[in-house]
Amino acid sequence: MTLRVRSFPEVLLSVENISLAFGGVKALTDISFDIRKGEIRAIIGPNGAGKSSMLNCINGFYHPQQGSITYKGVRRSQMKPHEAAEQGIARTFQNIALFKGMSTLDNIMTGRNLRMKTGLLWQALHLGPARREEIEHRREVERIIDFLDIQHIRKTPVGRLPYGLQKRVELGRALAAGPELLLLDEPMAGMNIEEKQDMCRFVLDVNDEFGTTICLIEHDMGVVMDISDRVVVLDYGKKIGDGVPDEIKKNEAVISAYLGVSH
Amino acid sequence: MFYREAGQFKISYSADMAIFPIAQDRIAVLAIVAAAFLLMPFVATEYFLNSIMVPTLILALAAVGLNILVGYCGQVSLGSGAFMAIGAYAAYNFAIRVPELPLLVSILLGGVVSAMVGVFFGIPSLRIKGFYLAVATLAAQFFFDWLFLRAGWFTNYTPSGSVNAPRLDVFGWTVNTPVERYIFVLGLVCVFTLLAKNLVRGHVGRQWMAIRDMDIAAEIIGIRPMYAKLSAFAVSSFFVGVAGALWAFVHLGSWEPLAFSIDRSFQLLFAIIIGGLGSILGCFLGAAFMWILPIFLDIALPPLGELVGWTMDKATVSHFSVMIFGALIIFFLIVEPHGLARLWSIVKEKLRLWPFPY
């Protein structure tokens, strides 16, 4: 049941014939799809289908052996993770990758690190440009903290926070970078229904208010079908379906991948 | 009851970002610093200033440097003794070869040379981590121990290998008496500690901590590991190098390479582990623990022995002092593995609520 029918003419990122293998294990085989500007794109598939590997290719963490990725009209072969970050790709992780010893505030401030430019000397003095920059970014970060409703845990070390809040802080850190493309790896894994609802609301709001393009991996079919504009389905490293949720629901190959077929 | 921040509202981000956001802390720290500058010189004996305050402060500064690397950036180093030596010998060579340079500049240049060498020895950290990195930095320790012992140029070809610090002239002020030495060291340590604190709370500090806590995630949000790690090595070695120059010039006066042997590296590493990794306060507590406790034990043991009717000779005292010192290290690590600084923050948390249980 897709309530929102929206159209997205402009392609932000396109993946062409990507193949990735680890030794003899083929994680991805000849995958092509695109992510359009402003949409919420979901990648689904059974365990081990290659979804996370796909995200890792997009943000430069893995280097596929074949194929190419075109982002904002620029085709690239190899790219380092921090270069992807510099070009506006941010992500969260399946198993939370926060900086456990730092407070919520510091974690989200780290997300803005690419935009902070003052030199070591000014920072050591904590005067002039360094101080102004720190305050200016603090203001932005406080907006994100308000948005995610985590004011009360601002100064708490994230290692002490419960799982659901950690996921939210991680989303905040990714948002702090002000990304154009946000990759979310199972943002709702392990959450109860209320936490899932909250997280869905955040994802939709980010997409609506900031106009951020979102590519997410999710296992909860209800969530995927409700919030995503288009869905890619992977199975054993191959693409078996691509389209709007209603099409995906009727796709034979997808149904058999998820439910199994009788031979 | 006394330590409560109720009613202290922050109305600006800069007030919230202050080093001591709580008024009581600010007052206490100001009082301590004021007492250290104004009161200590008048009440302390020369022995106390020379053998306790000055070395503790310099060791604390070196510990601050090492803590930036180990505690904040998570890169284990066993080469801090070597970097102290580099700072000391570089400052010495600047001072004797370019006599026009003011002393303070030589000391700072010693730190700069140490920072450059630190960056070089930090390069392995881009590939290796943890214990393996510790072994790689150990190479720096052995190499420089050897270099300063064997290469005569660094010691200006003094036959004994022992060199004398130049006269301590700071812009016309001759640092001579114990009080002057103490004030000189205290001033520098205060300034450098403030700089270090600013760095670790600024965005480079966050980069270091991000690398420490999870380097892969740090890279994915756009932190370049090379810059973060090498800048930590540079800043850390700079602080350690300056501390080394002070140790040689102000504390020792004349020294040989043995002063900066691997024992010094271990002493600093233990100081920050006991004091608290990733805490500036911890550096001071740890340095005080490592330097003052053995001296205290040496002094306190004989009278204690007399109490139970046992006259200890010197050797027995030093044996016992080492044993008790070791036992205390283990005791503190078991009670609070995160160091004295964490112990202090727990005390503060309790003080906020006192006299109520919660």
Query: Which residue of A100, A123, A138 is in closest CB contact with B13?
Result: A138
Nearest chain A CA: its distance from B187 CA (Å): 16
Q: CA separation (Å) from B192 to A124, A225, B62, B115?
A: 9, 57, 10, 15
Label the pairing between strands A213-217 and A181-185. parallel
Residue B2 placed within a domain: no
Range of the domain at B341: 32-353
B349 Cβ contact partners less than 8 Å away, ≥ 6 residues apart = none
Model confidence at A79, pLDDT cuts 50, 70, 90, reads confident
pLDDT of residue B289: 92
A contacts of B13 (beta carbons < 8 Å):
134-135, 138-139, 142
pLDDT reading at A95 higher than 90: no
pLDDT of residue B332: 83
Distance CA A251, CA B212 (A): 46
Q: Do A135 and B202 touch (CB under 8 A)?
A: no
Residue B21 placed within a domain: no
pLDDT reading at A4 higher than 60: no
pLDDT of residue B256: 87
pLDDT of residue A1: 45
Residue B55 placed within a domain: yes
The reply to whether B342 touches chain A by the CB within 8 Å rule is no
pLDDT lower than 50: segments of chain B: none
Percent of chain A at pLDDT > 90 equals 54
How confident is the model over A145-196, as pLDDT tens digits?
999 999 999 999 999 999 989 999 999 999 999 999 999 999 998 888 999 9
Count of A–B CB contacts within 8 Å?
105
Residue B307 placed within a domain: yes
**A175 and A156 in contact (C-beta within 8 Å)?**
no
pLDDT of residue A263: 61
Give the residues across from A214 on adjacent strands. A40, A182
Query: Which residue of B195, B212, B217 is in closest CB contact with A97?
Result: B217
Q: How many folded domains does chain B comprise?
A: 1
Burial category of A86 from C-beta neighbours within 10 Å (exposed 0-12, middle 13-18, buried 19 and up): middle
Residue A64 token pair: 């596929």
pLDDT reading at A137 higher than 90: yes
Q: Which domains does chain A have, with CATH numbers?
A: 1-88+179-263 (3.40.50.300), 99-176 (no CATH)
Which residue does chain A place closest to B214, by CA atoms?
A99
Residue B113's CATH number: 1.10.3470
Q: Once rounded to an integer, what is the mean pLDDT over residues A237-256?
A: 88
Nearest chain B CA: its distance from A215 CA (Å): 16
**B143 and B78 in contact (C-beta within 8 Å)?**
no
Q: Do B222 and A86 touch (CB under 8 A)?
A: yes
Q: Do A97 and B216 touch (CB under 8 A)?
A: yes
Residue B12 placed within a domain: no
pLDDT of residue A228: 92
Residue B331 placed within a domain: yes
pLDDT of residue B105: 92
The reply to whether B195 touches chain A by the CB within 8 Å rule is yes
How confident is the model over B188-218, as pLDDT tens digits?
999 999 999 999 999 999 999 999 999 888 9
Residue B70 placed within a domain: yes
Provide the chain B residues 12-31 that lie in CB contact (below 8 A) with chain A. Answer: 13-14, 17
